[in-house]
Amino acid sequence: MTLKLIDKYLSKFVNESDYERILPSLEQAHKTLTKRSGKGSDFLGWIDLPVNYDREEFEKIKKAAIKIQNSCDIFIVIGIGGSYLGARAAIEFCKGQRYNSVRKNTPEIYFSGNDISSSNLAELLEMCEGKDVCINVISKSGTTTEPAIAFRIFRDMLNKKYGREEAKNRIFVTTDKCRGKLKELADAEGYETFVVPDDVGGRFSVLTPVGLLPIAVSGINIDELMKGSADARERYAICDINKNDCYKYAAIRNILLAKGKAVEIFVSYENALNMTAEWWKQLYGESEGKEGKGLFPASVSFTTDLHSMGQFIQQGSRVMFETVIDILNSQREVVIPYDENNSDGLNFIAGKDMHYVSRTAFKGTAIAHTDGNTPNIVLELEKRGAYEFGYLVYFFELACGISGYMLGVNPFDQPGVEEYKKNMFALLGKPGYEELGKRLLDKI
């Protein structure tokens, strides 16, 4: 089995009557989602995406990926939030955190336009000197400030470096099929474009060209990835908590929240999953954190963070639970050598693969944290590969939709994100924001 929920570290915290009590709410959420009758139902395109996607666009992605692989050393992906996290998560999940540094026949991939740091951008511009560069700018709305600034700067760099005609072959735009400034610009300049489907929101868009083009450029097999998500879609179609681990996960989260566990920590023992954690945090944070409700999604990478956050998780405020991704098989093996003198005292693990030690650390930690009243949900994942990533994506997206409806919120909007933007525009003097600008000046 690709993914399995292990509930043995929950027995102290969740019992049969908890499941019985929450069942009606789970069944209602299932009905609402599958009948597409709830809040945000215009944004449910992700549900069928693994089987119902634009095959022509998919082939276009593969062709563009080969063209990009053959024409650049550095590929820059410009986007923020849902427009970059999924792709970055997939690349690190499948290829490791050091993808850019290891020997390979695919371009280095850097992500930009996900902050407003001049130092960060200047550094990347410098890294592009003397290198061939291609860009993929991704913005569903086509109006988001952070990627728009970065795109203006890198477009300018490419126009100067190659001339406008050649730059055109190096710029790929992923945006709405007809709306937005970015679409207007792409059409005017003749850039190749890819479509973000209308009914798929940013944080649910990794299985669209938003995620798939950068993922394909890194050499990951996107057919495998889609197959993984399609298999998960089939597996988690049934509304039976005993047969559907995805629904069980959604139910447990809500049971624990009702018991005062308002912080969920995503835990992994592979730093290759650090960006998957970031993707997961956005998915759950933006989907559930509204109307004064929701679990706060946090993340740690063990065993690294056992030496920083471990203390708090063991003994600090008892407000949290952990969702641990336990990867059964490592991509690589490193066996700990035997030392005749045993000068470091490590011979008791000589001959063992490091992954065995890591999984043992996980087991010891799960017992310790559970004893310290931090419940552990364990998701056993067979290995790190394209298929598994697609499977995991669908698992978390579906659980998020179900869990959000159980909470009673619209999991598919993000009204709170607009607040900072309005203030920033007003303070920067954007036309149309003059009145707000005056009011804000009194506050700063």
Contacts to ligand PA5 from residues 194-213, by CB under 6 A: 201-203
CA dist 244 and 261 (Å) reads 23
Asked if 139 is part of the footprint of ligand PA5 (rule: CB under 6 A), the reply reads yes
Choose between 183 and 384: whose C-beta lies nearer to ligand PA5: 183
Instruction: Provide, rounded to whole angstroms, the least separation between the CB of residue 337 and ligand PA5.
Output: 46
Binding residue (CB under 6 A) for ligand PA5 from 50, 81, 107, 197: 81
Name which of 90, 170, 158 is nearest 134 in CA terms: 170
Q: Tell me whether residue 430 is one of the annotated catalytic residues.
A: no
Nearer to ligand PA5, 208 or 229 (CB): 208
Contact 400, 294 (CB under 8 A): no
CA distance 207 to 191: 22
Does 80 interact with ligand PA5 (rule: CB under 6 A)? yes
**Contact range with ligand PA5 by CB under 6 A, out of 46-54, 137-145, 225-233, 377-385:** 137-145
Q: Which C-beta is closer to ligand PA5: that of 203 or that of 235?
A: 203
> Residue 74: beta bridge partners?
108, 133
Nearer to ligand PA5, 45 or 147 (CB): 147
Q: Identify whether 421 is a catalytic site residue.
A: yes
Closest CB to ligand PA5 among residues 50, 86 = 86
Give the residue with the Cβ less far from ligand PA5, 3 or 277.
277
Least distance from ligand PA5 to the Cβ atom of residue 437, Å: 23
| Catalytic, out of 146, 286, 288, 322 | 286
Q: Work out which of 82, 107, 211, 385 binds ligand PA5, going by CB under 6 A.
A: 82
Pairing of strands 376-381, 3-6: antiparallel
The DSSP 8-state label assigned to residue 441 in this structure reads H
3-state secondary structure of 82: helix
Place of tokens 């390979």: 104
Cβ atoms of 113 and 80 within 8 Å: the answer is yes
Residue 16, classified by CB atoms within 10 Å of its CB into exposed (0-12), middle (13-18) or buried (19+), is exposed
Tell me how far, at minimum, the Cβ of 17 lies from ligand PA5, in Å.
36
- Residue 380 C-beta: closest distance to ligand PA5, Å: 28
Among all residues, whose Cβ is closest to ligand PA5? 202
CA distances from 417 to 144, 172, 351, 412 (A): 11, 26, 52, 13
User: What DSSP letter does each residue of 320-384 carry, written as one string?
Assistant: EEEEEEEESS-SS--BPPP-TT-TTS-GGGTT-BHHHHHHHHHHHHHHHHHHTT--EEEEEE---
Q: Is 414 in the site for ligand PA5 (CB under 6 A)?
A: yes
Dist CA 75 CA 55 (whole Å): 24
- Draw the binding track, 15-54, toward ligand PA5 (x: CB under 6 A; -: no contact): ----------------------------------------
Residues binding ligand PA5 (CB under 6 A)? 80-83, 139-141, 144, 147, 201-203, 286, 414
* Active centre residues (catalytic): 286, 307, 421
